Amino acid sequence: MDFFFQQLSNGLTVGGIYALIALGYTMVYGVMKLINFAHGELFALGAYIGYSLLVTMNLGGRLGPPMAIALTIIMVASLVALAGHLLERAAYRPLSHSDRLSAVVSALGASIFLQNAIMIKWGAQYRAYGADLLPNVIVNLFGQNVPLIRILVFLFAVVVMTALYAFIHRTKLGLAIRAAAIDQGAAKLMGVDVRRVIAVVFIIGPALGGLAGLLVGLYYGQINFIMGQLYGLKAFTAAIIGGIGNIPGAMIGGLLLGLIEALGAAYVSVAWKDALTFVVLILILVFRPTGLLPERVAEKL
């Protein structure tokens, strides 16, 4: 039971991170019907910006950990959002009237470019976040000992996702995003500036992905420049599990994938952890390509 609970809490934490990244894939796909292959690299960029702020600039030492992390969260979200926006302007907008395939190739190119840019800027070796940033506290939850950081990371992911959900469903801009995801042409006829919607999606998605990168740095303590590939692929799987283009689906898919991975690693084999993810991806694509969520819930964004 104790062992199981540890896996469960770990799975939910990792799942929360997957869900944050998956939201970026799903939002962009929802509106543009394009897989932003560079999204994993934006996630890695978030991890590295966090590294620069917390380790290189030693914000933790100067401001104290709580202030430093709060500031880092804001900086990472805004800088990665900016990077996402520039990416959209440079790699996607000029191709908005071209074939879908051109945009896909452009996305792959942007991904390779970003990954190499990160390597040149920060180096090819692993980088370590300081261990002293978050207090290494174990708290007692339902009679089980759980590291505080797990709870914090998970709660942070849930709060961000709830805020996003409220934004999409309660605001005028959110309504426009949903409309553009359903029928771009009809949305234009309603007076929605679809170009602006795309810009917004390319700001929110990368911001969430960047934050996920920061969380990985804080949770695992180390990052490397190709981390975007594996996390990107896993989060993409999470988005597919929930039904790509579907926001609640990405959240549920992320959490589910985190749990599958953690429990699979614990009860099947650690070595098969990543393979398990892609077995799930293949199974979903074969048996339920529209995702696990029922159609009615899957109202695209």
Partner 1 sequence: MLELIDLKVSYGGVEAIHGLSLTVKQGELVAILGANGAGKTTTLMAISGLVRPKSGAIYFKKERLDTLRSHEVVQRGIAQVPEGRRVFGPMTVEENLKLGAFSKKRWSEKTYKKVMDLFPRLEERKVQMAGTLSGGEQQMLAIGRALMAEPSVLLLDEPSLGLAPLLVKSIFQAIADINSSGVTIILVEQNARAALKLASRGYVLDVGRLVIVDSAPNLLNNPVVTDAYLGAKST
Report which residue type is found at 102.
Answer: S
Q: 139 pairs with which residues across the strands?
A: 146
Q: How far is the CB of 284 from partner 1 (least distance, A)?
A: 21
Q: How far is the CB of 162 from partner 1 (least distance, A)?
A: 20
Q: How far is the CB of 173 from partner 1 (least distance, A)?
A: 10
Helix (H/G/I), strand (E/B), else coil: 133: coil
Q: How far is the CB of 192 from partner 1 (least distance, A)?
A: 6
Residue 131 or 189 having the CB closest to partner 1: 189
Residue 121 or 196 having the CB closest to partner 1: 196
Nearest one of 242, 241, 229 to 281, comparing CA atoms: 241
Interface contacts to partner 1, rule CB under 8 A? 172, 175-176, 178-179, 182-183, 185-195, 299-300
Q: How far is the CB of 295 from partner 1 (least distance, A)?
A: 9
Residue 196 or 288 having the CB closest to partner 1: 196
**Token pair recorded at residue 150:** 């797990």
Residue 13 or 246 having the CB closest to partner 1: 246
C-beta of residue 76 within 8 angstroms of C-beta of residue 50: yes
Half-sphere exposure of 202 (CA within 13 A, CB side): 25
Residue 189 or 270 having the CB closest to partner 1: 189
Query: What is the C-alpha to C-alpha distance for residues 221 and 24, in angstroms, rounded to an integer?
Result: 23
Helices 194-220 and 172-182: angle between axes, nearest 10 degrees: 100
Q: How far is the CB of 75 from partner 1 (least distance, A)?
A: 33
Q: How far is the CB of 172 from partner 1 (least distance, A)?
A: 7
Sequence-ordered list of residues with C-beta below 8 angstroms from that of 227, at least 6 positions apart, any chain:
43, 44, 47, 213, 216
C-beta of residue 216 within 8 angstroms of C-beta of residue 232: no
- Residue 30's alpha-carbon distances to 89, 201, 209, 228, 249, in angstroms, are 18, 9, 16, 21, 12
Residue 26 or 277 having the CB closest to partner 1: 26
C-beta of residue 6 within 8 angstroms of C-beta of residue 221: no
Q: How far is the CB of 244 from partner 1 (least distance, A)?
A: 15
- Residue 18's alpha-carbon distances to 37, 110, 128, 140, in angstroms, are 15, 21, 21, 25
Residue 189 or 286 having the CB closest to partner 1: 189
Residue 46 or 242 having the CB closest to partner 1: 242
